[in-house]
Structure 1
Amino acid sequence: MSLSGWVCVVTGASRGIGRGIALQLSEAGATVYITGRQETSLKQTAAQVKERGGNCVPVICDSTKEKDIEDLFERIKREQNGRLDILVNNAYAGVQAIFENMGKKFWETDPSIWDSINNTGLRGHYFFSVYASRIMVAQGQGLIVTISSMGGLRYLFNVPYGVGKAACNRLAADMAVELKKRGVASVSLLPGAVQTELVTQLVLEKETPQGGDPTVRSQQIRFSGNYFSCFSLLLNLFSLAQLKEVFANGESTEVSGMCIVNLAKDKHLMSLTGKILLTCDLAKRYGIKDIDGRSVTDYTSLTFLLSRVPYLSWLSAVVPSFIHLPRFVLTLTSNRF
């Protein structure tokens, strides 16, 4: 197996993308330490990993508590002879806060929402990265992957969310600058539309109004779209029916894991360090198919984008599928100069 003997940490692996990543890393042969705050859900992930022949170590760890994080890495050093190959910063605890304050402006919201959104999903990532890097730098190699969102490039949900996700991208990029000469890579990974448990509950199982009323905009369920797509400026153009279609054809939670497995073994990994990487791009780079054999949707494909725009969808039938949105356009979405 490609990662046999490797040691990995995946934070927030109780469910969703974190669980999918843990499954793929363990299936590739790695020993995976998974963290979360709920023992029951962690054990469920561990049991699923075991069923598939993998090796998983569930650890109750609160990403907001430095002592928990320090203890985890001390344990890894003891149990794995000081080896650590991959850290995946995935933990996030802000969904409920986003949902409860949907539609409010930042001055109308209790400022404590900042901590609810960014203590785990930003501060925690930094602390995990510090302790992981101390091991990786000492051994002269390693990979840190920070799961990100389009909210880091343009407004999405609320101010604390966008600032936190932009900071995650900057965290990955700036760590890459300091780690590169030590043989350690750091990247942001931006998944597409992912069929997480939350998305299934809030989008796929949500009843569409009769006739697919286009006035039912995605704003109503935006809080569940943390991992929507790399062209989120079209979000407000989507009806609920369209969103259901997008997510129905979305990535499984394991695509991100497949990308990380291939990325870790890439001989040219250091040429990618510091970058924001899209799962659809990595799927093309490595020839990845989803677990059910489907192709991974390319959200930068002009064919896909046109198919989602009212009155222009007919063009998607005549535009070649190999034409993509230039990457500089994504950069421009956050350009303020």
Structure 2
Amino acid sequence: MTKDIRPLAGKVALVAGGTRGGGRGIAVELGAAGATVYVTGRSSTGGRSALDRPETIEETAGRVTAAGGLGIPVRTDHSSPEEVRALVDRIAAEQDGRLDVLVNSVWGGDPLTDWEHPLWEQDLDTGLRLLRQAVETHIITSRYALPLMVARGSGLVVEVTDGNTARYRGTFFYDLAKSAVIRLAVAQAAELRPHGVAAVALTPGFLRSEALLEHFGVTEDNWRDGAAKDPNFAHSETPAYLGRAVAALAADPDVMAKSGRALATWGLYREYGFTDADGSRPDFAAHWAENLEAEYGPLGDPL
């Protein structure tokens, strides 16, 4: 019997925050698995978000379709309940009430993150804005999207975060945001379990996003040259690796067994056997244990 190479054919996904980075990688890999993917965010051909980056939801949606799925871009500000409700109403109308996968990947907090100062020296308004951007957007999106899954008695929610342990992440508001997103997955899992819907948190390792490539002054073609600035960059991974982890979870008939857990690409590749775009299998936790733990301590206890 031939193995189905499009295990998500007929499935419908919403990737909130799918414009670039991990969200884009997830959207494209869900498309490669055959899904119809609604790609949302604030950066579109009609105008850029406050981040003022060139990537757009239309570009991501085009990549979803080129990969074998169907990409549908919908410009949405996920901090607006009205816009999110309209988005979900559109999905329900166009897909006969079906939504199989919800990915909460909204972030946009890089320019709001202060890595230099402790809480008592940071600008409070900026820190609270980061929390609204990185946490409230996820809550709003789940609030309106979850009823579609509950009504069908199946589905998967993925909360994209940074790290899957209790280790302090370097600065107060960033740490609070990423830790809170994990708790969003735990809380949703508890409430969704009676309805057959799973919720997990998921982290990449050292993610080679568009912005990070620019930071290191490289492209995806010569990215290894970035290791001259930071040797740890040699152990980074593409957004496709994160996307393949989500696609594997979404295709797993036993995904409920993982509901409520904080997962990582470096654990899931071992179980599901997926590779990064170049065929490698980056394992940032193993790299950390071997090269960074002596200086920075262990990654931390599981959350």
Aligned mates of 1:310, 1:148 — CA distance in 2: 25
Distance 1:78 1:166, change over 3 A: same
**Secondary structure of the structure 2 residue equivalent to 1:189:** strand
Aligned equivalent of 1:193, options 174, 186, 206: 206
The match for 1:233 is: none
Distance 1:243 1:6, change over 3 A: farther
Aligned mates of 2:171, 2:238 — CA distance in 1: 26
Matched, 1:12 2:17: yes
Q: Which has the larger radius of gyration?
A: 1
Aligned equivalent of 1:258, options 213, 229, 244: 244
Distance 1:74 1:145, change over 3 A: same
Structure 1 residue identity aligned to 2:266: C
Matched, 1:246 2:198: no
The match for 1:55 is: 70
Aligned equivalent of 1:172, options 174, 179, 185: 185
Return the offset for 1:310: 7.6
The match for 2:282 is: 297
Aligned equivalent of 1:127, options 135, 140, 150: 140
TM-score, normalised with respect to structure 2: 0.86
Identity of paired residues, percent? 35
The match for 1:236 is: none
Unaligned runs of 5+ in 2: 1-5, 46-55, 220-225
**Secondary structure of the structure 1 residue equivalent to 2:77:** coil
Matched, 1:36 2:46: no
**Secondary structure of the structure 1 residue equivalent to 2:239:** coil
Return the offset for 1:277: 0.4
Aligned mates of 1:177, 1:112 — CA distance in 2: 32
Aligned mates of 2:69, 2:257 — CA distance in 1: 30
Structure 1 residue identity aligned to 2:169: L
Matched, 1:94 2:109: yes
Aligned equivalent of 1:81, options 96, 103, 111: 96
Aligned equivalent of 2:27, options 14, 22, 29: 22
Structure 1 residue identity aligned to 2:267: D
Aligned mates of 2:165, 2:110 — CA distance in 1: 16
Aligned equivalent of 1:105, options 118, 131, 142: 118
Unaligned runs of 5+ in 1: 207-239, 312-324
Return the offset for 1:309: 6.3
**Secondary structure of the structure 2 residue equivalent to 1:161:** helix
**Secondary structure of the structure 2 residue equivalent to 1:39:** coil
Whether the aligned pair in 2 keeps the contact of 1:204 and 1:247 (CA below 8 Å) is no
Return the offset for 1:65: 0.6
Matched, 1:161 2:143: no
**Secondary structure of the structure 2 residue equivalent to 1:56:** strand
TM-score, normalised with respect to structure 1: 0.77
Q: Deviations over 1:217-257 (max 9, x none)?
A: xxxxxxxxxxxxxxxxxxxxxxx957733223321111111
Distance 1:241 1:290, change over 3 A: closer
Aligned equivalent of 2:290, options 296, 306, 309: 306
Aligned mates of 1:191, 1:96 — CA distance in 2: 20
Return the offset for 1:46: 1.9
Return the offset for 1:132: 1.6
Runs of 4 or more consecutive aligned structure 1 residues displaced over 6 Å after TM superposition: none
Aligned mates of 1:151, 1:110 — CA distance in 2: 27
